[in-house]
Amino acid sequence: MTEQQQQQAPLAFLKGEAVLEKPEDLYIPPDALQVILESFEGPLDLLLYLIKRHKLDILELPILSITQQYVHYVEMMQDFQLELAGEYLVMAALLAQIKSRLLLPTHEEIEEEEDPRAELVRRLQEYEQFKQAAENLDKVPRVDRDIFIASALIEDVDDNADSLPDVELRELLLAMSEVMARAKKFEHHQISAETLSTRERMSKILQYLSENPNPVEFSVLFHIEEGRSGVVVTFIAMLELLKEQLISIVQVNLASAIYLSLKLQE
Amino acid sequence: MTRRVSDEQLVELVEAAIFVADKPLSKKHMKETVLQDISVSDRRLQQAIDTISEHYQTRGVKLVEVGTGYRFQACPSLSPWLNMLWQEKAPKYSRATLETLALIAYRQPITRGEIEQVRGVTVSSNIMKSLLERQWIKVVGHKEVPGKPALYATTKLFLDYFSLSGLDGLPKLPELQSEKLDQMLNDPSVREQSE
């Protein structure tokens, strides 16, 4: 977008010389870029890479050209839809802020004004220091890669074979019963098909309620002879009906009888 | 009842104990176990260790002192060949892991926030978790700032792993060019020109 502008105005002054064009080696084939971008450990790492590409000293941080390249990379990262960590954008903002501060006229009277690049340079240096330290640490010989631990075995002496403790019959039986108990847990269960259908029970309850104009007491609907499963099916059927708003359930007082009735359709 | 042993017997016992123990063996641990009923002064024990160490100077195995004690290990120069004994290659560590570990090693005790400050990115929980699980790092306290963040430091097992007897055995931290930074700040000619 700013291709023409960039050629008119010098990119930056490096060691007093105006840089009019971006260095040739800035061009990176797009395919290679993706690989490169994924290998960066963060914005400081990317900045260091850009500085190294320029064969520059960190201390000569040319903010404008570095910012442009940095933003260029970040834009490309977005083009490739790489998941961009927020830190990259924060760094872009910081670079822009430093650039704008450099552009502002410096007041002679304010002696103590610090070079806005100083903090960034300090962080870059610190990061480079630990990046190098990490590489050095990787070279330190380590166990199972460079160092193999030597060991010797104690030979088992066989003459203590008779010192093994005797086993009592009771202990043996106890162990056996434990095994049996455990084996029981691996028995197969036959799961039979549901004999009582919830849908069917729902219909029955509805039918029963429609035949009785007055509310029906909760317990009437259960058939004890059906056993536990029958009770459960009936209860689930009631809940299902309630959920579908086909019946209403009322209880006048706490702990008084519960009544079911059809919900009146309008 | 304490027994007396000859120097030769002591050397044999210490050598065998270090070889047989499944972990590095410290002098203290030796005295509490294999040497518990033998009267040995610290000086004599050290002499025995020195004798063993000297004996192995010309062998493929060396006696070394690491974080938690003494152990025998193969000479690193032999590792390219020894490596062929195993099918699996030793794991490689990511740059993120190594940078995090380097910061903890050189800047301990350090909080996670301080690590992130230097690296410029968030430290993934997985990295901290795996370093803690490997027992290379541990929490040694909490910083007296809001949130009381945990302070991390390296462990003796970290030293064992890198075959170091102390942190001073780590490679020296590359130096910062702070004088040059000051020069830049004071010298207006180095300042970048605006357009």
User: How many C-beta neighbours within 10 Å does residue A130 have?
Assistant: 23
Strands B69-74 and A149-150: antiparallel
Residue A174 lies in a domain: no
User: Which residues span the domain enclosing A252?
Assistant: 198-262
Residue that is last in its domain, among A139, A154, A181: A139
Whether A20 and A100 map to the same domain: the answer is yes
User: What is the CATH classification number for the domain harbouring A234?
Assistant: 1.10.10.580
Same domain as A244, residue A134: no
Q: Which fold has domain B7-83?
A: Arc Repressor Mutant, subunit A (1.10.10)
Q: Which residues of B touch A2 (CB under 8 A)?
A: none
DSSP B159: H
Domain-located, residue A217: yes
Largest pairwise CA distance in chain B:
89
A199/A204 Cα distance (integer angstroms) = 9
How far is B144 from B146, CA to CA, in rounded Å? Answer: 7
Q: Are A35 and A28 spatial neighbours (Cβ–Cβ below 8 Å)? A: no
- B95-169 CATH fold: Arc Repressor Mutant, subunit A (1.10.10)
On the question of a cis peptide bond just before residue B174, with omega within 30 degrees of 0, the verdict is: no
pLDDT digit of tens for each residue in chain A (266 aa)?
444 444 445 666 666 666 666 555 555 555 555 556 667 788 888 888 888 777 777 776 777 888 888 888 888 777 766 666 677 888 888 888 888 877 777 666 555 566 777 888 888 889 999 999 999 999 998 898 888 998 888 776 555 555 566 677 787 778 878 887 877 777 776 766 666 678 888 888 888 888 887 888 888 888 888 888 888 888 888 888 888 888 888 887 777 888 888 887 54
Query: What's the pLDDT tens digit per position in B134-159?
Result: 999 999 999 989 999 999 999 999 99
Co-location of A119 and A231 in the same domain: no
One domain for residues A122 and A207: no
Question: Residue B70's closest chain A neighbor by CA?
Answer: A149
| Residue B192 with chain A: CB contacts under 8 Å | 12-13, 61-64, 102, 117
Q: Cα separation of B97 and B137, whole Å?
A: 12
A172 lies in some domain: no
Cβ–Cβ gap A12/B119 under 8 Å = no
Q: How far is A14 from chain B (nearest CA, A)?
A: 7
The domain boundary, picked from A139, A157, A182, lies at A139
**Chain B neighbors of A133, CB-CB under 8 A:** 99, 102-103, 106, 171, 173-174
Whether residue A9 sits in one domain with residue A134: yes
What per-residue string of b and e applies to A14-30 under the rule 16 or more CB within 10 Å gives b?
beeeebeebeeeeeeee
- The shortest C-alpha distance from B14 to chain A (Å) reads 13
pLDDT tens digits, residue range A200-245?
888 888 888 888 878 888 888 888 888 888 888 888 888 888 888 8
- Domain co-membership, A134 together with A26: yes
Tell me which DSSP letter residue B193 carries: P
One domain for residues A131 and A7: yes
For CATH 1.10.10.10, list the domain ranges present in chain B: 7-83, 95-169
Residue of chain B whose Cα is closest to the Cα of A47: B120
Q: Are residues B194 and A139, on separate chains, in Cβ contact within 8 Å? A: no
| Min Cα–Cα distance to chain A from B27, Å | 18
Nearest to B45 by CA among B35, B60, B37, B56: B35
Q: How many domains does chain A have?
A: 2
Contacts of B176 in chain A (CB under 8 A): 125-126, 129
